[in-house]
Amino acid sequence: MSVLIFVELDNGSVKKTSLEAVAYGAEVAKLTGTTATVLALGAAETSALEQTGNFGATKVLHVSDEKLSHENSLAYADVLAQAVQQENSKVIIISKSGLGDAVAARASAKLKAGIVSGVTELPVIDNGFSVKRSIYTGKAFSTVEVKSDIKILVVKKNAIEALEGTGIAKIESFTPTLRDSDFLASVGQIEKASSELSLTEADIIVSGGRGMKGPDNWQPLLDFAHALGAATGCSKPVSDLDWRPHHEHIGQTGIKVAPNLYIACGISGAIQHLAGVNGSKYIVVINKDPEAPFFKAADYGIVGDIFDVLPKLTKAVQDLK
């Protein structure tokens, strides 16, 4: 019996958010007196799979079938269900993402498992099995008791601190039965965003709003982000105006992020944008309007013209390096 952790791969490596899920799953395994097993689907570097051992995994089930090289929630959920049966797993951990949500929902139906999404803390198992989850786009929390035999926890980023230790997970080849009905739809083409860092994986994000005044004024923000090693994002009005690519749109109708540090430059702080960033560990707001709503949600604020502030911050970061 083991806690089973589904991980996502990107260019042969395990995504950072999935490594956080591994660390979370390893802690759940300690609570329940079991071990942590990782399920990885698709092409992956051996060293990348072994790295999950640094975060507490003892074993990796690797499915290298070419059919699974592209994200397919139908097939992935089917494989996950078979791995659960082989490992006799009672708790499944999945990192919250577009793919993770889809796989979790389908696997829940297949396994008749209770599912909790947006989990923010380790479960409490002293009297039953309950977990804390984020609700209302992060504005509140609820505690959910799960009574099903099999439980699926979809974990938010930064749910626990993922400290990397030392250890090598044992890799085992896993050969599930793949059903033709799971492949009736196929991926014809994949177009990836050209940005260096993924918004959902980034530890630091620097975002701009209409306060940037136009598409030709973003260089100070880009220079600051580059100095920090940060990903760049934007508010919905900015993407609607085509000042920045739509894949950078952060908010309730865009990408929801949870970095360790979110820096908002010239963004007023509309509720739709806040819904996409309130999972951030720390929020810094730079705005010349001291009455901007975003300051109420900020951990730190700078009142000033972003075109004066950003170059000074960039220089300060460069000097520290």
Which residues define the annotated binding site for FAD? Answer: 210, 266-273, 287, 305-306
Separation between Cα atoms, residue 206 and residue 284, nearest integer Å: 9
SS3 sequence of 193-235: CCCCCCCCCCCEEEEECHHHCCCCCCHHHHHHHHHHCCEEEEC
For 139, the token pair is 């504005």
Separation between Cα atoms, residue 161 and residue 114, nearest integer Å: 25
Angle among Cα 212, 200, 153 to the nearest 5 degrees reads: 145
* Displacement of CA 26 from its chain's centroid (Å): 17
Taken as a whole, the chain contains a residue count of 321
Task: Please report, to the nearest 10 degrees, the dihedral formed by the alpha carbons of residues 132, 133, 139, 140 taken in order.
Answer: -40
- Sheet with 91-95: list strands edge to edge: 140-145, 130-135, 114-119, 151-155, 91-95, 2-7, 35-41, 59-63, 170-173
Question: How distant, in Å, are the alpha carbons of 26, 56, 72, 220, 258 from that of 163?
Answer: 11, 10, 30, 33, 17
Annotated binding residues, written as ranges, equal 210, 266-273, 287, 305-306
